[in-house]
Copies of this chain bind each other. A is one copy, B any other.
Amino acid sequence: MDLREIDQFAKDIIFEAGKRIRDAFSYDIKVETKADANDLVTNIDRETELFFIDKIKAFNPNHKILGEEGMGEGIESLDGSVWIIDPIDGTMNFVKQHRHFMITIGFFVDGIGKLGYILDVMREDLFYAIEGEGAWYNDSPLRRLNPLPLEEAVIGINASWIAPNRRVNHEKMIELVHKVRGTRSYGSAAMEIAFVVSGKLDAYISMRLSPWDIGGGTIIAKEVGAIATNLKGEPSSLLAQDTFIIANPSIHQEILKNYIEEK
């Protein structure tokens, strides 16, 4: 398997999809709500996923595809060559802000992450990695993350997890908020993961993410030394919803051990 060739193919279709989305802003955006009112879906979201499926099937009909919009076949294992795709991560930002939404893609072979991509669509900024070769932000190599004490960390976390919730002891999360230098929340998991791998945030925590939210990002994480796991400290599931933390290696264990108490 020629990873370089697949990497070039992936970049080509990601940038083309980004351009299609930017162009589509000249048209009205039709929005419908899924069961969860927080989860807006747009036509563009679906069209972008179909675009990726068509391109990948033409590139290699044996490759399997797992996408947020479910336009690909359902998959039950990561055997073989698998693309995990979120055509638009941060749908509410997309609808409301017309910025801060990402295309994110991971390419796995027999469950091993080989290529990872996060494109900030409106900025045309690409974070990406090739397994064992490193990670880049556009044309610049991403450096391995420098250690820092938790007191100096800025972490991405949504307000829902600081309020009482069914997933974790929020009292512990409040302690974490008081411990760190600052918190941020951007409304796009892939954006927050891209910020962690590039040192713009030092950690990002979520109690409920799907494989397509994290697939690409976990591959980039590995190349810069960021640690990405679920809240038990194990690899997050790539076939089902799971909890998630990605962090600078110097604070990953400390956050898990002292501040996360799952219910």
Q: Which residues of A contact B (CB under 8 A)?
A: 37-38, 92, 96-99, 151, 154, 157-160, 162-164, 174, 177-178, 181-187, 195, 199-201
Contact = CB atoms under 8 A, between A and B. Distances in A.
A38 B181 CA distance: 6
Contacts of A99: 200
A34 B195 CA distance: 26
A182 B92 contact: yes
A159 B186 contact: no
A97 B137 CA distance: 13
Contacts of A201: 96-97
Contacts of A187: 154, 182, 184
Contacts of A181: 37-38, 92
A160 B178 CA distance: 7
A151 B177 CA distance: 26
Contacts of A199: 96
A111 B249 CA distance: 51
Contacts of A37: 151, 181
A37 B185 CA distance: 21
Contacts of A160: 177, 183
B164 A96 contact: no
A195 B186 CA distance: 13
A105 B163 CA distance: 35
A163 B177 contact: yes
Given A177-B160, A199-B96, A184 B183 contact: no
A112 to B, nearest CB: 31
